[in-house]
């Protein structure tokens, strides 16, 4: 079989060389995957192949043959149609002020010269092909009206509009929960077979790659360290870095079970409703239950996980527990005392003992504040911290950074100086500065590649043991939950539909939805042939 795309000795530079001597091929009807950590050169390679490098980047040497990449006419409009791309975050790729049908139709008019009527009909056909519900109605919707999976289907439709022979997919499922991820992967595989597409798939998730790819390329620091048939490389890796990546998959790192049977925080019949429509007189006609009659207890030192699809109410439940949202019904009991959101004094004390760690560490840090100052600010929130001198506060901040695996000199740096994994360590250090006894971690490792994710989870486990912390870990990644939690709550449509020890839920699920979640994990899928 002849390759449909060949890359030979590709070298790309910005201020310095970031991709060096990369060679690979993509074949019709098959998937070639590029794997590696953030910064390995995966995305730069794919954008170079597309002809979409920014002005600051340039191809120094090498050859890309087999398809015509994006060429540009005088007004700057792309006219190439043989290769297209699906990006990681569909929301940032779609115009929020433009209906999705018009966005896909625009590419058809520019590239193929279709009139408005012809373009609309073609978009309906494409939306049907990518299995969007009610294609005609979806035409007139804006991106914010669609779910994450639906937005990604729109991007796939846009990528396929001009019938390319090669599709570049850059982390197309990373931001999606496990069941939506499975449906998108299944859809891509179906479309690939129907259209005989060659696919270049960029990912850091080896289990996803295993399920869909025939060939795999492992990159590190801009160079290929290993490549070959997918199963050969993943089952019998030869390079130490590949072995390290494979061993980074979350594994059980918390043992010992519940430390205490003493209730720390209890959720009683908690609910939150939103009015979604009103009649002519302003009276509510339709309500949405984001959280619906939820009850459970977390004991001192216990590690509890919540899993479920996006939109099931996991994060909203976490905000209710922290008093950052006011419930429509029910109550939160902290140390056998009902939390009163209106009582500022008691809530201030509670928030010192119960700290959140959110998904995006960059938005959680002030970009204009040095790390040392940010942590010292948190230290001063405690009674003990207020009594410390500035130098003592700084020494305490230093100890916290060392505890999370950073260095003393990092105190004088700004957030922009750190990688995503390092910023997550900083956010954790700041949360620990007030000496909490309970953490709510909301998708706090979701944006990290596997090796960094594994390091953060091991760090969390060590800190939990040393400080006897209890935590609620919110995630759509079941393997992460299995690694770090004693007990699991499964959430669907705002309700807890299953609860039990981690081993019980994973090995002997009762509810059909839980079974569906478990079967949708990348390690359970096998699309590749």
Q: Let me know if residue 95 belongs to a domain.
A: yes
Both 346 and 463 in one domain: the answer is yes
Structure confidence at residue 72 (pLDDT): 36
Tell me the average pLDDT across 151-165: 90
Residue 36 has pLDDT above 80, yes or no: yes
pLDDT digits (tens, 9 = 90+) for 464-498: 989 999 999 999 888 889 989 999 999 999 999 99
Residue 54 has pLDDT above 60, yes or no: yes
Both 357 and 230 in one domain: the answer is no
Residue 257 has pLDDT above 90, yes or no: no
Both 343 and 453 in one domain: the answer is yes
Q: Let me know if residue 399 belongs to a domain.
A: no
Say whether pTM exceeds 0.95.
no
Q: Let me know if residue 211 belongs to a domain.
A: yes
Task: Copy the structure tokens of residue 521.
Answer: 């994990």
SS3 98: coil
Q: Which of 196, 171, 195 is nearest to 184 (CA)?
A: 171
Q: Let me know if residue 406 belongs to a domain.
A: no
pLDDT over 90, % of the chain: 54
pLDDT digits (tens, 9 = 90+) for 89-103: 777 788 999 999 999
Structure confidence at residue 223 (pLDDT): 96
Structure confidence at residue 358 (pLDDT): 82
Tell me the average pLDDT across 380-399: 89
Structure confidence at residue 169 (pLDDT): 92
SS3 375: helix
Structure confidence at residue 525 (pLDDT): 52
Mean pLDDT lowest for which of 147-151, 172-176, 334-338? 172-176
Last residue of a domain, one of 246, 280, 306: 246
Q: Label residue 169 exposed, middle or buried (CB < 10 Å: 0-12, 13-18, 19+).
A: buried
Both 190 and 156 in one domain: the answer is yes
Look at 72 and 60; give whichever has higher pLDDT: 60
Both 317 and 199 in one domain: the answer is no
Structure confidence at residue 284 (pLDDT): 81
CATH number at residue 477: 3.40.50.300
Per the structure, the complete domain to which residue 132 belongs is given by 5-246
Give the helix ranges, DSSP H, for 67-177: 90-93, 100-112, 116-129, 135-138, 148-160
Look at 420 and 444; give whichever has higher pLDDT: 444
Task: Copy the structure tokens of residue 467.
Answer: 């400080």
Q: Let me know if residue 407 belongs to a domain.
A: no
Both 240 and 273 in one domain: the answer is no
Looking at the 3D structure of the chain, how many domains does it have? 2
Task: Copy the structure tokens of residue 272.
Answer: 């939150």
Structure confidence at residue 232 (pLDDT): 95
Look at 1 and 392; give whichever has higher pLDDT: 392
Q: Let me know if residue 384 belongs to a domain.
A: no
Both 165 and 39 in one domain: the answer is yes
pLDDT digits (tens, 9 = 90+) for 79-133: 456 888 888 777 778 899 999 999 999 888 887 888 989 999 999 999 999 989 8
Q: Let me know if residue 77 belongs to a domain.
A: yes
Q: Vertex 220, ends 217 and 221: CA angle to 5°?
A: 135
Tell me the average pLDDT across 15-25: 94
Structure confidence at residue 81 (pLDDT): 66
pLDDT digits (tens, 9 = 90+) for 361-378: 778 889 999 999 999 999
Structure confidence at residue 354 (pLDDT): 95
Mean pLDDT of the chain: 88
Q: Are 490 and 496 in contact (CB under 8 A)?
A: yes
Structure confidence at residue 78 (pLDDT): 41
Both 272 and 237 in one domain: the answer is no
Last residue of a domain, one of 219, 246, 273: 246
Structure confidence at residue 528 (pLDDT): 56
Biggest distance spanned by C-alpha atoms of the chain? 74
Binned at pLDDT 50, 70 and 90, residue 75 comes out as very low
SS3 454: helix
Both 159 and 282 in one domain: the answer is no
Last residue of a domain, one of 214, 246, 278: 246
Residue 514 has pLDDT above 60, yes or no: yes
Both 329 and 238 in one domain: the answer is no
- Concatenated DSSP letters for 148-182? HHHHHHHHHHHHHTT--SEEEEESTTTTS-HHHHH
Q: Let me know if residue 237 belongs to a domain.
A: yes
Both 211 and 350 in one domain: the answer is no
Both 235 and 361 in one domain: the answer is no
Alpha carbon distance 496, 158 (integer Å): 37
């Amino acid at each position: 079989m002849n390759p449909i795309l060949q890359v030979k000795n590709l070298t790309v530079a910005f201020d310095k060389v970031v991709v060096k001597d990369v060679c690979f091929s993509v074949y019709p009807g098959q998937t070639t995957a590029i794997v590696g950590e953030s910064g390995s050169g995966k995305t730069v390679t794919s954008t170079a192949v597309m002809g979409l490098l920014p002005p600051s980047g340039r191809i120094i040497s090498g050859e890309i043959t087999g398809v015509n990449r994006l060429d540009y006419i005088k007004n700057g409009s792309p006219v190439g149609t043989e290769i297209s791309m699906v990006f990681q975050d569909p929301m940032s790729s779609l115009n929020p002020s433009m209906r999705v049908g018009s966005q896909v139709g625009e590419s058809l008019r520019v590239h193929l010269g279709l009139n408005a009527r012809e373009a609309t009909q073609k978009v309906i056909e494409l939306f049907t092909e990518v299995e969007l519900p009610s294609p005609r109605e979806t035409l007139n919707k804006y991106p914010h009206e669609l779910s994450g999976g639906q937005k990604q289907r729109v991007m796939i439709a846009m990528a396929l509009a001009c019938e390319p022979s090669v599709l570049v997919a850059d982390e197309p499922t990373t931001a999606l929960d496990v069941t939506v991820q499975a449906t998108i992967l299944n859809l891509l595989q179906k479309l690939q077979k129907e259209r005989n597409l060659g696919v270049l798939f960029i990912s850091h998730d080896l289990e996803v790659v295993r399920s869909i790819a025939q060939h795999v390329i492992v990159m590190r620091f801009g160079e290929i360290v290993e490549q070959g048939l997918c199963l050969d490389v993943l089952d019998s890796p030869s390079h130490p870095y590949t072995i390290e990546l494979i061993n980074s998959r979350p594994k059980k790192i918390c043992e010992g079970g519940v430390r205490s049977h003493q209730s720390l925080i209890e959720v009683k019949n908690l609910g939150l409703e939103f009015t979604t429509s009103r009649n002519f007189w302003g009276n509510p006609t339709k309500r949405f239950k984001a959280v619906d009659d939820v009850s459970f207890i977390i004991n001192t030192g216990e590690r509890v996980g919540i899993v479920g699809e996006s939109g099931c109410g996991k994060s909203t439940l976490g905000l209710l527990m922290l008093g950052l949202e006011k419930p429509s019904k029910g109550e939160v009991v902290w140390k056998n005392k009902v939390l009163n959101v209106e009582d500022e004094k008691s809530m201030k004390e509670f928030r010192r003992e119960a700290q959140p760690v959110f998904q995006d560490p960059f938005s959680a840090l002030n970009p204009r504040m040095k790390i040392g100052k940010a942590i010292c600010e948190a230290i001063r929130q405690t009674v003990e911290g207020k009594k410390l001198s500035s130098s003592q506060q700084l020494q305490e901040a230093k100890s916290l950074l060392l505890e999370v695996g950073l260095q003393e000199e990092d105190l004088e740096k700004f957030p922009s100086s750190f990688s995503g994994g390092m910023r997550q360590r900083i956010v954790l250090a700041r949360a620990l500065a007030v000496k909490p006894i309970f953490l709510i971690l909301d998708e706090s490792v979701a944006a990290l590649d596997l090796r960094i994710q594994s390091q953060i989870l091991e760090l969390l486990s060590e800190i939990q043991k040393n400080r006897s912390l209890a935590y609620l870990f919110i995630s759509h990644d079941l393997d992460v939950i299995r690694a770090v939690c004693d007990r699991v709550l499964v959430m669907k449509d705002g309700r807890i539909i299953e609860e039990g020890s981690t081993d019980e839920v994973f090995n002997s699920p009762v509810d059909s939805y839980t079974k569906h979640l478990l079967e949708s994990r990348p390690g359970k899928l096998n699309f590749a042939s």
